[in-house]
């Protein structure tokens, strides 16, 4: 759930011509492995003992460098493209749907491989956890606060899921029938991601200037309630013609664009929709004809959760687009931004990062610890900031300096504290226990897991259970 050297974007960047409308055709590409990077001090996968020593010693410099190295690898350019659009590494990775399709096909043909799945870009879908409001409150502009997400697995993670049929209800229920309490652990080079986009439809462009208005994260509020985009009251504007002059400034009252608050489409990691992409998006969000996306519209990356299985409890880092990436607001910081490596290109360097490599500090053991110490907040503004206390069914408290701190809203959450609860039960998939938690320590043998199967911190498994063969399986055990 999450959430750092070279200040690449502080130098003027050459303007890019807006891309042409992409070819409307089916595309196939092979998932790209995480690349080898020339970043001093960065290795992937890193030895778990090394990372755990960083955590134990509160060595945030190495932790931040590691998170940025992962980001550099994800946003590196691959050798594949769609039309004339070169794909970044993360864009080539398989989705749960791809893996499920491959699992079903492999049963028909043992030689079938994930690379044989006919696939295009990951489809942009409505988030499962919440619905965003359509408009920002107040101001003369109406920034788009709708987001669309996808989930993807690195080749190592996808290969594990395919080999073990890990999305199958029958596989998971079978583990429970055998008396197991958790699935096999993913390999240490597994990465799971949750890219989050905004789609710039023609109807979303301001009629008087052709700009796209977007809510920009101002930093967490002090209230004990959700802080969704429509309450931020801070805007930036995107020029799809690449004629912006944004300099890190924001429109604090969302009254209208100025040169300093207008940014280029090339300041974002982005792509142009094919007709297939647009059709799926329109259907998923139920858009009427006047507001529908079309081929050639832009999707801009505004956020991404990233988890790696380099440690038992995974590493957690989250990224979001920032107007001033050199000095982003909490839960990031100028110190985190200062660790960005030269390997990041101009667009990728325009993002802020937060990390959550432990639930509390000092770190507690995997089993039998206590929820005491300093809080560790690691959330993504575009994904969790809007969560109110009704989202967190489990009471979350950290005792810090003898004082209990209640963490029951999104801006007080921690990716690790939430994802540790990911589970499967033998109830039908739509009755799974989707219990979320704010920041607190949770043991791997917590009573919550009684009668449940732990799914190695992967809510993406719980949310994508494949029911193939479920009826027959249920009939045999009843």
pLDDT, tens digit (0-9, with 9 covering 90-100), for 267-313: 999 999 999 999 999 999 999 999 999 999 999 999 999 999 999 99
Would you say 28 and 118 are in contact if contact means Cβ atoms under 8 Å apart?
yes
User: Which of 50-54, 247-251, 252-256 is least confident?
Assistant: 252-256
Determine the Cα angle at 199 with ends 197 and 201, to 5°: 175
- CB count within 10 Å of CB 262 equals 21
Least confident of 10-14, 39-43, 403-407: 10-14
Arithmetic mean of pLDDT over the chain: 90
Reported for 9-14, long-range contacts at CB under 8 A and 24+ positions apart, including other chains, are: 9/267, 9/325, 9/326, 9/346, 9/349, 9/350, 10/326, 13/266, 13/346
Is the separation of the CB atoms in 334 and 327 below 8 Å? Answer: yes
Phi, psi of 108 (to 5 degrees): -85, -30
Task: Tell me which DSSP letter residue 70 carries.
Answer: H
Q: How confident is the model at residue 429 (pLDDT cuts 50, 70, 90)?
A: low
Distance of alpha carbon 219 from alpha carbon 85, whole angstroms:
34
Q: How far apart are CA 431 and CA 402, in angstroms?
A: 38
Tokens coding 83: 């039309």
Count of other CB atoms within 10 angstroms of residue 185: 14
Residue 75 three-state SS = coil
Q: What's the whole-number mean pLDDT along residues 177-199?
A: 98
What values do phi and psi take at 120, rounded to 5?
A: -120, -145
Q: What integer is the mean pLDDT of 356-384?
A: 98
Band the pLDDT of 132: cuts 50, 70, 90. Answer: very low
Please choose, from the candidates 368, 347, 248, 364, the residue with its C-alpha nearest in 3D space to the C-alpha of residue 300.
347
pLDDT at 421 over 50: yes
Please say if the pLDDT value at position 138 is more than 90. no
Say which range, 36-50, 122-136, 372-386, 397-411, has the weakest mean pLDDT: 122-136
What 3-state class would DSSP assign to 372? strand
pLDDT at position 57 is: 98
pLDDT of residue 387 exceeding 50, the answer is: yes
Mean pLDDT on 122-136: 62
């Amino acid at each position: 759930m999450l959430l750092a050297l070279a200040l690449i974007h502080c130098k003027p960047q050459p303007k890019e011509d807006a891309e042409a409308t992409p070819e409307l055709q089916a595309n196939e590409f092979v998932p790209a492995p995480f690349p080898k990077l020339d970043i001093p001090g960065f290795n992937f996968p890193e030895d778990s003992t090394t990372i755990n020593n960083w955590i134990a010693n509160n060595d945030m410099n190495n932790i931040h460098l590691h998170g940025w190295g992962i980001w550099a690898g994800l946003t590196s350019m691959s050798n594949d493209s769609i039309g004339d659009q070169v794909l970044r590494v993360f864009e080539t990775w398989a989705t749960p749907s791809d893996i499920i399709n491959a699992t079903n096909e492999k049963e028909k043909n043992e030689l079938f491989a994930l690379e044989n799945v006919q696939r295009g870009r990951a489809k942009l879908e409505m988030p499962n956890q919440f619905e965003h409001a359509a408009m920002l409150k107040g101001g003369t502009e109406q920034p788009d606060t709708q987001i669309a997400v996808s989930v993807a697995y690195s080749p190592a993670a996808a290969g594990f899921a395919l080999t073990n049929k890990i999305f199958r209800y029958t596989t998971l229920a079978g583990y429970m029938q055998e008396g197991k309490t958790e699935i096999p652990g993913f390999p240490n080079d597994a990465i799971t991601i949750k890219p989050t986009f905004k789609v710039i439809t023609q109807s979303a462009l301001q009629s008087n200037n052709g700009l796209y208005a977007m809510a920009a994260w101002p930093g967490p509020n002090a209230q004990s309630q959700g802080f969704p985009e429509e309450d931020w009251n801070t805007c930036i504007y995107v020029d799809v013609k690449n004629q912006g002059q944004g300099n890190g400034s924001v429109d604090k009252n969302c009254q209208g664009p100025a040169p300093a608050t207008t940014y280029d489409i090339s300041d974002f990691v982005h792509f142009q929709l094919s007709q297939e992409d647009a059709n799926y998006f329109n259907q998923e969000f139920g858009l009427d004809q006047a507001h529908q996306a079309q081929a050639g519209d832009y999707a801009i990356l505004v956020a991404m959760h990233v988890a790696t299985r380099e440690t038992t409890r995974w590493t957690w880092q989250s990224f979001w687009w920032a107007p001033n990436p050199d000095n982003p607001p909490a839960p990031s910081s100028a110190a985190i931004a200062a660790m960005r490596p030269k390997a990041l290109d101009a667009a990728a360097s325009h993002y802020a990062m937060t990390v959550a490599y432990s639930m509390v500090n000092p770190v507690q053991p995997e089993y039998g610890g206590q929820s005491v110490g300093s809080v560790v907040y690691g959330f993504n503004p575009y994904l969790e900031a809007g969560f109110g206390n009704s989202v967190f069914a489990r009471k979350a408290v950290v005792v810090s300096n003898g004082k209990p701190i209640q963490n029951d809203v999104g801006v007080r959450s921690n990716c690790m504290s939430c994802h540790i609860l990911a589970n499967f039960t033998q109830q039908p998939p739509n009755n799974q226990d989707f219990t979320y938690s704010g920041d607190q320590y949770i043991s791997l043998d917590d009573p919550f897991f009684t009668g449940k199967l732990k799914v190695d911190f992967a809510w993406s498994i719980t949310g994508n259970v494949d029911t193939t063969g479920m009826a027959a399986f249920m009939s045999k055990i009843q």
